[in-house]
């Protein structure tokens, strides 16, 4: 069996939007999107001691190799990075096209995603990728098992708990409630460097440059502005008078 895990390299620390390009500045330090660590962990759990191959797949700048190496250090077998100047600024339509193209090369039995990206707060990519791959999709998985050619998922929605089944190959997005991701061991970190890491350009992927990056995107950022103010937020240190301070505040707001 082959499991592909889609991971994202996200900016670390205080991030900002470049006013010139109106894109998130991705030039600084970055890290593996922590929600994706749950997906890597789940792939490794499904693999266990079997000969299942776990491939970490990402789209991003060259620095995204750092995040892929983290996945390798955790135990993934191989990494694939789609990286091309022409892919920068890809929106959902373009990103899903590029990832789906990379996944078509890999032909995995299961494609796993984390529950959302911590930078763009997006929680949509898996459904778009599943559509392009023409595969069944299940999101918000909190328990996952594979039996023969079927994946069984328990998940939580706004209404409670569902149990679903889908035949493989399938796409599953896992919730961060599904597991506690392991920390890479020193041995894992050392070993990651020797594992296969392929970087693919648009040409190598067989995607027309007009279908990637801003050219291939169907949304635009028009302007950046200040958000509506949240009033005057206050923060106090909780000494002996904290409870009284809260009551005074609520009284001032006519809430008690």
Partner 1 sequence: MRFLVFAEQHEGEFVKNSLGVLSKAASLGDADAVVVGADAGLAPELGKHGAKVVHVAAGDDTLAPPLPQPRVDVIAGLAPDYDAVLFGQSVLAADVAAGLAARLDAGLNWDLVDVELQDGELVGKRPALQDSVLVEVGWKSTPALALFRSGAFDPKESGGEPEVRDVDVQLEDFSTKVKMVEQAHAEESSGPSIEDADVIVAGGRGLGSPDNFTLAEDLAKALGGAVGATRAVVDAGWYPYSAQIGQTGKTVSPKLYVALGISGAIQHKVGMQSSGTIVAINKDPNAPIFEFSDLGVVGDLHEIAPKLTELVRARKGS
Q: What is the CA radius of gyration of the chain?
A: 21
Q: Which stretch binds partner 1 (CB under 8 A): 42-50, 102-110, 194-202, 234-242?
A: 234-242
Q: Which of 2, 152, 182, 195 binds partner 1 (CB under 8 A)?
A: 152
Select from 194, 191, 174, 206 the least CA-distant residue to 82: 206
163 binds partner 1 (CB under 8 A): yes
Taking the complex as a whole, how short is the minimal distance between the CB of residue 194 and partner 1, in angstroms? 36
50/219 with CB nearer partner 1: 219
28 binds partner 1 (CB under 8 A): no
50 binds partner 1 (CB under 8 A): no
Residues 87-116 that bind partner 1 (CB under 8 A): 91-93, 96-97, 115-116
CA distance 173 to 24: 24
Say how many Å lie between the first and final Cα of the chain, rounded.
60
152: burial class by Cβ within 10 Å (0-12, 13-18, 19+)? Answer: middle
170 binds partner 1 (CB under 8 A): yes
137 binds partner 1 (CB under 8 A): yes
74 binds partner 1 (CB under 8 A): no
Taking the complex as a whole, how short is the minimal distance between the CB of residue 143 and partner 1, in angstroms? 11
Taking the complex as a whole, how short is the minimal distance between the CB of residue 211 and partner 1, in angstroms? 9
Q: Which stretch binds partner 1 (CB under 8 A): 2-10, 57-65, 119-127, 184-192?
A: 119-127
Show the site string, 175-214: x = touches partner 1 by CB under 8 A, - = not: xxx-------------------------------------
Classify each residue of 84-105 as buried b or exposed e, where b means 16 or more C-beta atoms within 10 Å of its C-beta.
Answer: bebbebbbbebbbbbbbbbbeb
The tokens of 188 are what?
A: 């894992």
Residues 214-233 that bind partner 1 (CB under 8 A): 217-228, 230-231, 233
> Which residues, other chains included, contact 150 with Cβ-Cβ below 8 Å and sequence gap of 6+?
165, 166, 167, 168
148/225 with CB nearer partner 1: 225
Helix, strand or coil, per DSSP, at residue 117: coil
Taking the complex as a whole, how short is the minimal distance between the CB of residue 170 and partner 1, in angstroms? 8
The tokens of 118 are what?
A: 């911590």
CA distance 107 to 14: 37
Q: At what angle do helices 34-47 and 64-74 cross, to 10 degrees?
A: 40
Taking the complex as a whole, how short is the minimal distance between the CB of residue 166 and partner 1, in angstroms? 5
239 binds partner 1 (CB under 8 A): yes
């Amino acid at each position: 069996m082959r499991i592909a895990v889609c991971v994202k390299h996200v900016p670390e620390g205080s991030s900002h939007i470049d006013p010139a390009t109106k894109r998130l500045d991705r030039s600084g330090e970055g890290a593996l999107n922590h929600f994706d660590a749950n997906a890597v962990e789940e792939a490794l759990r499904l693999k266990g001691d079997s000969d299942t191959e776990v491939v970490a797949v990402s789209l991003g700048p060259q620095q995204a190799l750092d995040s892929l190496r983290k996945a390798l250090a955790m135990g993934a077998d191989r990494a694939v990075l789609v990286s091309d100047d022409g892919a920068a600024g890809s929106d959902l339509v373009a990103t899903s096209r590029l990832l789906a193209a990379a996944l078509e090369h890999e032909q995995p039995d299961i494609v796993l995603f984390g529950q959302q990206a911590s930078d763009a707060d997006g929680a949509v990519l898996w459904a778009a990728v599943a559509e392009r791959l023409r595969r069944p999709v299940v999101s918000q998985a909190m328990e996952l098992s594979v039996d023969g050619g079927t994946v069984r998922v328990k998940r939580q929605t706004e209404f409670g708990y569902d149990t679903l089944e889908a035949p493989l190959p399938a796409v599953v997005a896992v919730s961060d409630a599904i597991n506690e991701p392991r920390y890479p061991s020193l041995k894992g970190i050392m070993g990651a460097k020797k594992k296969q890491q392929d970087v693919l350009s648009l040409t190598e992927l067989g995607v027309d440059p007009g279908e990637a990056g801003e050219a291939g995107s169907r949304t635009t950022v028009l302007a950046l502005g200040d958000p509506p103010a949240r009033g005057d937020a206050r923060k106090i240190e909780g000494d002996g008078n904290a409870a009284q301070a809260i009551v005074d505040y609520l009284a001032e707001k006519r809430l008690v």
